[in-house]
Amino acid sequence: GERRPAAVTCTAPINIAVIKYWGKRNEELILPINSSLSVTLHQDQLKTTTSAAASRDFKEDRIWLNGREENINQPRLQSCLREIRRLARKRRSGSEEESTPCILSYRVHICSENNFPTAAGLASSAAGYACLVYTLATLYGVETELSEIARQGSGSACRSIYGGFVQWLMGERDDGKDSLAQQIAPESHWPELQVLVLVVSAERKPVGSTAGMQTSVETSPLLKHRAEAVVPDRVKEMCEAIRQRDFERFGQLTMKDSNQFHATCLDTFPPIFYLNDISRCIIHVVHLFNTYYGQTKVAYTFDAGPNAVIFCLEQTVDEFVSALRCCFPPESNGDMFLKGLPAGPAVLS
Ligand code: PMV
């Protein structure tokens, strides 16, 4: 009979884009208007943990996120579930197992948890959908390329299928078969590179990425210019900076790309604001720090929310954290919670 365990648990880490994805050319298949590039964090840092079980006793597919049951019929959830099951069926047809009882005919229960604030611009959907797709694939024994399926959950999720430095190629086809993630360097390639996550606010973002992107594509001429004339060269240059472990170039490109993304948000009509006063203050501190040293020692990037992600090399972490503590003393830290900020590859404080 079917020996594969009928329940599995997997984890997937978040990824932080250093060349941002913003804007779709196909809403349903989630095909982007530009390629993007990201760094996947370590497995044991900011991550989603998902369990999936199949049983003949389950009456329907169900899903719980952070302990609350959610609607399983959301189109993007259904896309992922349907694709994995289709591949599992394909794999079985023609194999000897075909005649044995199969968990494919059972309903699944899925339970997913983030160890960080959901939907606060911290790539929760990236880790979430990557984890969902990986967990279901493991449950059903599907061994194909998974980034194409994760992409249909949430665009940025396709990059969390791989570790280290990952590129999401926008592709050219209309069916999305060439819109895939690929690793450009493993995590071990640049061990000195550190990531600090500064949680400015754990609140849900006011404008979700789906709605935000739609309005930007419809109204922002800057976004069009960015996708066509800026990002293609920038992705190439970023790949090279990573290959050469050139922090100066990596850091500058990262900051410029984050700034251009937020400029397209301002260029969107009506405008979208993801950064707040604390975010802008962090930007200011980073530039003061770099100016003081006469080189790029620290770089910031912000997604669809006010939280900062800081990149720097190992030897810079302690000093930059001290500088931050001066600017945001623990007793007057406003919204930013910096207590107990240790050095390490990724820090949620
Ligand atoms: O994948 P989504 O729909 O959550 O969009 C992610 C958009 C950004 O985080 C702002 C940029 C990116 O490339 O991750």
Q: Which of 81, 80, 119 is nearest to 211 (CA)?
A: 119
| 65-68 own/partner pairs: CB under 8 Å, 24+ apart | 65/112, 65/113, 65/118, 65/128, 66/112, 66/113, 66/114, 66/118, 67/113
How much distance in Å is there from the Cα of 332 to the middle of ligand 1? 31
- Residue of 104 and 246 predicted with greater confidence: 246
- pLDDT exceeds cutoff 90 at 27: yes
Domain that holds residue 295: 193-332
Lowest mean pLDDT among 39-53, 110-124, 278-292: 110-124
3-state SS, residue 8: strand
Q: Which atom of ligand 1 is nearest to the CA of 156?
A: 1
**Higher pLDDT residue, 263 or 341?**
263
Section 53-74 average pLDDT: 95
Band (136; pLDDT cuts 50, 70, 90): very high
Query: What distance in Å separates the CA atoms of residue 88 and residue 62, rounded to the nearest whole number?
Result: 19
Q: Is residue 167 in a domain?
A: yes
Per-residue tokens: 67 = 């302990």
pLDDT digits (tens, 9 = 90+) for 69-83: 999 999 999 999 999
Question: ω into residue 191 within 30 of 0, thus cis?
Answer: no
Residues 170 and 212 in one domain: no
Nearest atom within ligand 1 for CA of residue 38:
13
Q: Strand 107-114 vs strand 62-65: parallel, antiparallel, or unpaired?
A: parallel
Q: Given a cut of 70, is residue 268 above it in pLDDT?
A: yes
Q: Is the pLDDT of residue 345 over 50?
A: no
Total count of domains within the chain: 2
Whether residue 345 lies inside any domain: the answer is: no
Residue type, 59: K
346 confidence band (pLDDT: 50, 70, 90): very low
Residue type, 197: V
Q: In this structure, are 179 and 285 located in the same domain?
A: no
Are 17 and 115 found together in one domain? yes
Given this model, what pLDDT does residue 313 score?
Answer: 95
Shortest-distance atom of ligand 1 to CA 21: 13
Task: Give the percent of the chain with pLDDT over 70.
Answer: 88
CA–CA separation, 250 and 310 (whole Å): 12
Average pLDDT over residues 47-53: 95
> Of the residues 209, 213, 215, which should be mutated to test ligand 1's pocket, given the most ligand atoms within 8 Å of the CB?
209
303 CA distance to ligand 1 middle (Å): 7
Same domain, yes or no, for 223 and 253?
A: yes
Please check whether residues 312 and 171 belong to one and the same domain: no
Q: Where residue 197 falls among pLDDT bands split at 50, 70, 90?
A: confident
**326 CA distance to ligand 1 centroid (A)?**
31
Q: Specify the pLDDT at position 337.
A: 42
Q: What is the pLDDT of residue 284?
A: 96
Residue 223: CATH number of its domain: 3.30.70.890
Q: Are residues 154 and 263 in the same domain?
A: no
Same domain, 135 and 104: yes
pLDDT for the residue 295: 98
125 lines ligand 1 (CB under 6 A): yes
Q: What is the pLDDT of residues 206-230, one digit of tens each?
A: 899 999 999 999 999 999 999 999 9
Instruction: Tell me, in angstroms, the distance from the centre of ligand 1 to residue 277's CA.
Output: 22
Please state the rounded mean pLDDT for residues 87-108: 76
Q: Please, what is the Cα angle at 241 between 238 and 244, to 5 degrees? A: 150
Q: In the predicted model, is pLDDT for residue 99 greater than 60?
A: no
Query: Confidence band (pLDDT; 50, 70, 90) for 103?
Result: confident
Nearest C-alpha to atom 8 of ligand 1 is from which residue?
A: 303
Query: Sheet of 193-198: strands edge to edge?
Result: 193-198, 308-313, 298-301
Q: How far apart are CA 251 and CA 254, in angstroms?
A: 5
Check whether residue 315 and residue 255 sit in a common domain: yes
The radius of gyration computed from the CA coordinates of the chain, to the nearest angstrom, equals 21
pLDDT exceeds 60 at position 195: yes
Whether 257 lines ligand 1, by a CB cut-off of 6 Å, is no
Count CA atoms closer than 13 A to 79's CA, side-chain side: 17
- The reply to whether 1 falls in a domain is no
**Per-residue pLDDT at 79:** 96
Q: Is residue 346 part of a domain?
A: no
- What pTM did the predictor assign? 0.91
Closest CA to 128 of 59, 68, 49, 204: 49
How much is the mean pLDDT over the chain? Answer: 89
Instruction: Give residue 260 CA to ligand 1 midpoint distance, Å.
Output: 14
Residue 94's alpha-carbon distances to 6, 104, 286, 348, in angstroms, are: 22, 15, 59, 48
Is there a single domain that holds both residue 243 and residue 231? yes
* ipTM exceeding the 0.95 mark: yes
The CATH number of residue 100's host domain is: 3.30.230.10
| CA–CA separation, 78 and 249 (whole Å) | 41
In a domain, 328, yes or no: yes
